[in-house]
Amino acid sequence: MVIIIGAGPIGLATGIQLKRRNIPFQIIEKGCLVSSIFNYPTNMTFFSTSDRLEIGDVPFISHGPKPTRSEALEYYRRVAESFELPINLYEEVTSLEGENGNFTITTDKNVYKAEKVVVATGFYGSANMMNIPGEELSKVKHYYDEPHPYAWQKVLVVGGGNSAVDAALECYRAGADVTMAVKYNTIKPSVKYWVKPDIENRIKNDEITGYFNTTVKEIRKKEVVLDTTAGEKIIENDFVLAMTGYHPNYPLMEHLQIELTDDEKCMPVYEENSLETKRKGVYVAGVVCGGLDTSRLFIENSRVHADQIAEHIEQNL
């Protein structure tokens, strides 16, 4: 038996490869199916084309050249149903004991025995906090869903990447008074090429106020304090959308006793070919392998992990 922790695209792909090899497995997911994609903005369009998101050789046909969030959710539901993957949703892994070939996995609902464990938990479940006064206020959101709640409100968007740009543009077009606080001196070059000129022109035309080389110092009920190049600036504010990025679930990796690199990337240590960690019998798959370097791995270039892991498990059972 193999336990796969995480029902994202790579967790599902790993399950498919194990099933093709007649290796028993169980997928355990603390949230909903492909929860990272579910938490993307409602109107989000992927950077990748649909064929680059396919798993299990199941065609992904989208209405446009790049699929939407809702199309991806439907696609991965269909794949999971088609392969009849055993998935337990809303069940959280709390500990892993034992050794290679004889693991005991404890969740908040059950206890499992397994010979191998695959960790495919992604990084979107844990937001990077700003660690500033007022961040705990209910007006502060680290996940953006849709623009309607922010119509006619004074909204501060923190960040200069894709998530921040999408949130700023959508809120602006819904009638919000949008300000952006970007810690860099420009919008990130990695922003989707069909969106980047749009946000730059909105800022240039003063339709969206942009503060660059700027951080947020404090959040108050009706205002925020910015640390700008011209000094401290206080602006009126109703909502803060902190699009400050995300990181892997490090407490879980600590519970699983997965060794991490001691550099700024804080990546799990694993064998390149098999993706087996220093804890024998425990594998990592998907974007979690990149640690804090969250712009290195995506669905499209980590799909191969599923086959690598399944092949290694088959050879070592």
As averages over each run of 10 residues, the pLDDT of the chain (317 residues) reads: 98 98 98 94 90 96 93 98 98 96 97 98 88 98 96 98 95 98 95 94 97 98 97 98 92 93 93 96 96 86 96 95
CATH 3.50.50.60 fits 129-242, yes or no: yes
Strand order in the sheet with 282-284: 87-88, 25-28, 2-5, 116-119, 282-284
Show the DSSP H helices in the chain as ranges. 9-20, 35-38, 69-82, 162-173, 196-204, 250-255, 299-302, 304-316
CATH 3.50.50.60 in the chain is located at: 2-126+246-316, 129-242
* CATH topology (fold) of 2-126+246-316: FAD/NAD(P)-binding domain (3.50.50)
pLDDT at 81: 98
